[in-house]
A = this chain, B = another copy of it.
Amino acid sequence: MARAVVLVSGGLDSATVLAIARSQDFACHALSFDYGQRHRIELEAAQRVAAGHGAVAHRIVPLDIGWMGGSALTDTTLSVPRAPTAGIPITYVPARNSIFLAIALGWAEALNAHDIFIGVNAVDYSGYPDCRPQFLQAFQDLANLGTRAGVEGHGFRLHAPLLHLRKAEIIATGQRLGVDYALTVSCYAPDSEGRACGACDACRLRAAGFAAAGVHDPTRYIQPAPAS
């Protein structure tokens, strides 16, 4: 059974990706990061998702990048926007996907795995530069030039099966594969009980996706669910 490393954040996208990788018969090694994010409750969700959806291993890597600053996700002196903003949002974390994928690559190489899965999406997304197809292609090129495994023969494949899906299509795919979205957390600024704010980018994209898919949204909100 071929091994794969799957980035699992605890959100709905990566839960769906884990289910997709499992449906393709990979032995899935889930990887999450404790990176100083203000929504650390997503790590509990990541554990539930990995355990509930058949990962053979799950590792949460402590990786403090909050000291870099520059993002509302890691710097509590900056506010998470509660309405859409122009351009790349302040929740963008500098080089986050490059960092996460590089560590996933190291684990994949050590495991003799050739496949890495990531739940990025370039349709219903926040406009982060490191969620675009050209970034993913560049990372796969890097992976095959910068590793023993790449140089000695077999290449790495970076899978982003959600890349061109609408949020509603992602949710429909997950439903078919039996994903339990009640396990997942998307909100950037949940309260201490894990209830979602209903107003940040992540909440708005999630709620609109459930509405468009015609699927019940199991999210617990602080306030009534946002209109889609």
Contact = CB atoms under 8 A, between A and B. Distances in A.
B98 A105 contact: yes
Interface in A123-178: 129-130, 132, 134-135, 138-139, 141-143, 145-148, 150-152
A67 B31 CA distance: 13
Interface stretch (A10-18, A47-55, A89-97, A203-211): A89-97
A84 interface: no
A67 B60 CA distance: 11
Contact of A97 (B107, B135, B139, B146): B146
Interface size class of A (residues with CB under 8 A): 35 or more
Number of copies: 2
A30 to B, nearest CB: 14
B67 A95 contact: no
A106 B95 contact: yes
A150 B94 CA distance: 11
Nearest to A128: B148
Given A94-B148, A102-B102, 18 more contacts: A61-B64, A62-B64, A68-B110, A69-B110, A92-B148, A94-B106, A94-B109, A94-B110, A95-B103, A95-B106, A95-B109, A99-B102, A129-B145, A130-B147, A135-B142, A138-B141, A139-B146, A141-B141
